[in-house]
Structure 1
Amino acid sequence: MDDVVFRVMLRMEITAGMETDFERVWREVGDSVTGHPANLGQWLSRSAEEDGIYYIVSDWVDETTFREFETSDRHLSHRTKLHPYRRGGSMTTMHVVAALTGAAGDRS
Structure 2
Amino acid sequence: MTASEQVFRVMLRMEIKPGVEAEFERVWQEVGDSVTGHPANLGQWLSRSIDEEGVYYIVSDWIDEPRFREFETSEGHLVHRRKLHPYRSGGSMVTMHVVAHLPGRVAA
Into which bin does the TM-score normalised by the smaller protein fall? over 0.9
Identity across the alignment (%): 73
C-alpha offsets along residues 28-76 of structure 1, whole Å, 9 cap, x if unaligned?
0000000000000000000011110000000000000000110110100
* Matching residue of 2:42: 40
Structure 2 unmatched runs, 5+: none
* Matching residue of 1:58: 60
* Matching residue of 2:80: 78
TM-score (norm 1): 0.96
- Aligned-partner SS, 1:51: coil
* Matching residue of 2:92: 90
Aligned residues: 106
Q: Separation in 1 of the partners of 2:74 and 2:57?
A: 22
TM-score (norm 2): 0.96
Structure 1 unmatched runs, 5+: none
